[in-house]
Amino acid sequence: MAIYPIRVFPDPVLTMPAADVMEFDAALAKLVDDMIETMYDAPGVGLAAPQIGISKRVFVADAGDGPFAMVNPTVVETSGKDKSDEGCLSIPGEYWVIKRPDYARAEGFDIEGNPVTYEGVDLMGRVLQHEIDHLNGRLLLSRLSSRVRNQALKELRGEPASRMNGRR
Ligand code: NI
């Protein structure tokens, strides 16, 4: 197994839609093993392949019930509403309150190409949505209101967070 370096914003691989996996082979199984090890090392509750520079539709996650992987997943149903702090290994140290549906169900494949479904509320619902966003080239920043996003982008670029506090 191997631990990969995690790509951070604004690495362009993070905002590119990832390609479907075509081969369910030993290389895919090894990639998933390495991603699980990298996720726990970070530590994080989810990791998508683009976050280690591999633009393929694969993610791993552990929302408390042990690690699992999904290949070529899509969110097929969501419901309810939830508002919770959310962060991302590719935007280290930053957390924002993000509104999302509470429940999500995702369909895809396991590493052998068998159809699998995962679903859940709270953390599980959020992780499924967050990781599949990554595979669609979508970062947390795109889930923020434009005002909060502009402020966040300034901070990430190292510009002064706000001039409001500079009053003398
Ligand atoms: Ni993330």
Task: Look up the CATH number of the domain holding residue 55.
Answer: 3.90.45.10
Range of the domain at 149: 12-157
Does residue 150 belong to any structural domain of this protein?
yes
Is residue 165 scored above 90 in pLDDT?
no
Q: What is the pLDDT of residues 118-134, one digit of tens each?
A: 999 999 999 999 999 99
Place of tokens 């969501």: 78
Q: What is the pLDDT of residues 53-108, one digit of tens each?
A: 999 999 999 999 999 999 999 999 999 999 999 999 999 999 999 999 999 999 99
- Residue length of the chain: 168
Gap from CA of 108 to ligand 1 centroid (Å): 19
Gap from CA of 160 to ligand 1 centroid (Å): 25
Does residue 163 belong to any structural domain of this protein?
no
Q: Say how many C-beta atoms besides its own lie within 10 A of residue 130's C-beta.
A: 25
Which of 77, 94, 112, 131 is the catalytic position? 131
Q: Give Cβ neighbours of residue 157 (< 8 Å, ≥ 6 apart).
A: none
Does residue 45 belong to any structural domain of this protein?
yes
Does residue 30 belong to any structural domain of this protein?
yes
Does residue 167 belong to any structural domain of this protein?
no
Q: Model-level pTM greater than 0.85?
A: yes
Q: Say how many C-beta atoms besides its own lie within 10 A of residue 131's C-beta.
A: 23
Q: How many structural domains comprise the chain? A: 1
Gap from CA of 166 to ligand 1 centroid (Å): 33
Gap from CA of 115 to ligand 1 centroid (Å): 24
Does residue 162 belong to any structural domain of this protein?
no
Does residue 22 belong to any structural domain of this protein?
yes
131 is catalytic: yes
